[in-house]
Homo-oligomer: A and B are copies of this chain.
Amino acid sequence: MRVLGVDPGLTRCGVGVVEGVAGRPLTMRGVGVVRTPTDAELGQRLVAIEQGIEQWLDEHRPECVAVERVFSQHNVRTVMGTAQASAVAMLCASRRGIPVALHTPSEVKAAVTGSGRADKAQVGAMVTRLLRLAAPPKPADAADALALAICHIWRAPAKNRLQQAVQQQAALHASKHASKGRTP
């Protein structure tokens, strides 16, 4: 499974591609940051983010895009920009029919470090170890994007099992109703 992780931001939008399956060593396929100038108009910055994300999708053809779920308990100004950058990332993926998954910052931290309250350095250290890199990816937004992708690969099997269980239950329910229908 190849996943593009996106840590959304207007000034720095972290992007990282990880390939692998849960339970096996993972491989980094690419990491970087889409930057937009702080003095540009908001609309122009969103266009620059769209172009950047499109390039990453073109180059890496991910099967899924994992985006950080944005909450508004943080700084008000930052959150609006983050929400807008995340909207562009989701739009680019969905337009191509690529599934989008959202993970909260604490889900990501818990997935890679074991603690939902881990700091940036700890996340960076674990990403470096898990992907067998020579040094932590910089800036932190790039490391966070890789952590998002890792989190998604590791959480996906559990989610799939849950979906299968729900589908089996629904199928069972439907067949019961169908047999009832046949014996009125």
- Which residues of A approach B to under 8 Å, CB–CB? 41-44, 46-47, 50, 70-73, 76, 79-80, 83-88, 90-91, 93-95, 100, 102
Task: Write out the residue numbers on chain B whose beta carbons fall within 8 Å of the beta carbon of A102.
Answer: 42
Tell me the smallest distance from the CB of A10 to a CB of chain B, in Å: 10
Cβ 8 A contact of A46, one of B44, B71, B90: B90
21 of the cross-chain contacts (CB-CB < 8 Å) are: A41-B94, A42-B100, A43-B91, A43-B94, A43-B100, A44-B94, A46-B87, A46-B91, A46-B94, A47-B91, A47-B95, A50-B91, A50-B95, A70-B80, A73-B76, A79-B83, A83-B83, A84-B90, A87-B88, A88-B91, A91-B91
> Cβ of A88: which chain B residues have Cβ within 8 Å of it?
87-88, 91
| The residue from B76, B87, B100 contacting A72, defined by CB atoms under 8 A apart | B76
- State whether B83 touches A87 (Cβ < 8 A): yes
Chain B residues with CB under 8 Å of A84's CB are 83-84, 86-87, 90
User: Contact between A43 and B80 (Cβ–Cβ < 8 Å)?
Assistant: no
Complex Cα distance, B96 from A47, in Å, reads 10
Q: How far is the CA of A79 from the CA of B44 in the complex (A)?
A: 22
Q: A43-B100, A87-B88 are in contact. List 5 more A-B contacts (CB 8 A).
A: A41-B94, A46-B91, A47-B94, A72-B79, A88-B88
- Per the bound structure, the CA–CA distance linking A40 and B47 in Å amounts to 25
Bound together, the chains give a CA A72 to CA B78 distance in angstroms of 11
Of A50, A70, A87, A91, chain B has the most CB atoms within 10 Å of the CB of: A87
A72 to chain B, nearest CB (A): 5
Q: Which of B42, B76, B79 contacts A90 (CB 8 A)?
A: B42
